[in-house]
Structure 1
């Protein structure tokens, strides 16, 4: 058994022990682990690239959110990264879009990149997206990846007063309950432990995990969307994007092969730019 597996089983044993001895502590610790991205620090070359943009901070609910702007083109676009990532993941997009008459904005989610905080969840991320767009009402397109795509779908369903006219959702997960299944399995949690953590999830987010379903959120969205997923994605199953496309009335689905979860491809960058432009 490798060290990661040993660590996971140790955490699971500790949480299962707490479920009997100190359920209140389990609620707090379990929810924190569930929302902790363990995001990596920016590397020097990543920081160097990001600093070429105009840096700013957005203050929201005690968080300091790092934001960036590149270019000054007539078309305005916001890029929203995924779990344990940051704005540098959009480097290829930023470089292409700036050359093609875009003003490009990106933000680091709470607990990611240069933003403050230790935790992230879909409701908080959507709130950050909304706050940023409220102060940049000329942005008409949003491109999102992974949990950023889940948060964007939630945002478009829950916040109706926005300027977004086109959305791109890449490799997004589909169900919050899947995360609990993953933690239960990988940590070896008992059903009792999971249910205690879910109680805290509901207290913090106002809904049970089953409420957080991208397909359900999509049913009320009228914004045209391009939904992209790779068939070989090992992080999130492409079946979620197939289902999202069925529920999102004004959407088109693009399935790739061999690009994995990161979806790094010059051709794809151009397709995304073409979609939000036309």
Structure 2
């Protein structure tokens, strides 16, 4: 844990002794916000700058959407927390070579989009807007938090032929618990955070912990799934991938890598080969 997190942890827990309400409000504020925006990397810039862009709107926030291609054979790309669409630059190149159109967006509070908060429901709304424009997606590729969002959207309204989930979380409770563990919240603040998530962030969900759990709704998702996860991922543990495999069985192919972690896995050539071979089966033998 770095110094800033240690100081935040100490302040929140000390503050809860005086006022759980105030410290809880600060904890909830931090939980809802990425707090940092990723910049376009030099290796991504050429791909990023040749995208066709448009503006979407969700909850009053302007969101930048991207398209690489003429719209035929659309493939939806969903980034994770504190990430952005440009992270998919190597995959975009490969998809275009195969005649596919890559479609993505910077979520609210990410990349070039507005806002300082984002929720899984906003992801779903943005996906719905792109679905209306492009129709059924040939495939979906998601990373990290984007994986959880993709499973929710695939129940409704997202229509797609295949899903590749990379280094993703499958359990919505993981987000709450990981945040609480990282900031070392005491029991009082953990309970307060859960209450605020349920009543303030998702007041219209009967049970967000079940509603947003990718494992709980297998009967509503019938497309082939490839999950790629690294056993050394220290951001989202590989247990999240095994959890999906246990739920989806033969419908889901699991590939476990080693030594790539949570981010390098996005650009690893062997991972890209696996993803492309699954997304565009007829490309096997054409790539590489």
TM over 0.5: yes
Structural RMSD (CA): 2.3
- For 2:64 and 2:129, how far apart are their aligned partners in 1? 13
Write the deviation string for residues 68-111 of structure 1: whole angstroms up to 9, x where unpaired: 11122742111111111101110100111111111111111111
1:173 aligns with 2:172: no
Structure 2 partner of 1:63: 61
Instruction: Give, in angstroms, the shift of residue 245 of structure 1.
Output: 1.9
How much has 1:24 moved relative to structure 2? 4.2
1:31 to 25, 28, 46: 28
Q: What CA distance in whole angstroms lies between the structure 1 residues aligned with 2:218 and 2:64?
A: 28
Unpaired runs of 5+ residues, structure 1, are none
1:112-167 deviation line (CA, Å, top 9, x unaligned): 1011111123232223222322222142211000110111012113x1x4331111
**Following TM superposition, by how much is the alpha carbon of 1:207 offset from its aligned partner in structure 2, in angstroms?**
5.2
8 Å Cα contact 1:232-1:259 kept in structure 2: yes
TM-score by length of 1: 0.88
Shift of residue 219 of structure 1?
Answer: 4.4
* Corresponding residue number in structure 2 for 1:11: 8
Distance 1:122 1:137, change over 3 A: same
Once residues 187 and 135 of structure 1 are traced to their aligned partners in structure 2, the CA distance between those partners, rounded to angstroms, is 41
**Displacement after TM superposition at 1:9 (Å):** 3.3
Distance change >3 Å, CA 88–CA 275, structure 1 → 2: same
Q: What secondary structure is seen at the aligned counterpart in 2 of 1:254?
A: strand
Q: How does 1:59-98 map to 2 (within 5 A)?
A: 59-72=57-70, 74-98=72-96
Moved over 6 A (4+): none
Corresponding residue number in structure 2 for 1:137: 135
Q: 1:248 is paired with a residue of what secondary structure?
A: helix
TM-score, normalization: structure 2?
0.85
| Structure 2 residue matching 1:246: 3-state secondary structure | helix
Q: Distance in 1 between matches of 2:123 and 2:24?
A: 21
Structure 2: give runs of 5+ residues left out of the alignment: 282-288
Aligned counterpart, 1:201: 197
How many pairs does the alignment contain?
A: 273
Match of 1:112 in 2: 110
Q: Tell me if structure 1 keeps the 8 A contact 2:53–2:66.
A: yes
Counterparts in 2 of 1:173 and 1:98: CA distance versus 1, 3 Å: same
Say whether 1:253 aligns with 2:271: no
- SS of residue in 2 equivalent to 1:135: helix
Structure 1 position 272 matched with structure 2 position 275: yes
Any conservation in 1 of the 2:40–2:86 contact (CA below 8 Å)?
no
**Most deviating of 142-151 and 71-80:** 71-80
> C-alpha deviations, 1:3-31, integer Å up to 9, x for none?
x33x3233233333444544444443222
Distance 1:177 1:214 in 2: 11
SS in 2 for 1:65: strand
CA gap of 1:51–1:210, structure 2 versus 1, over 3 A, is: same
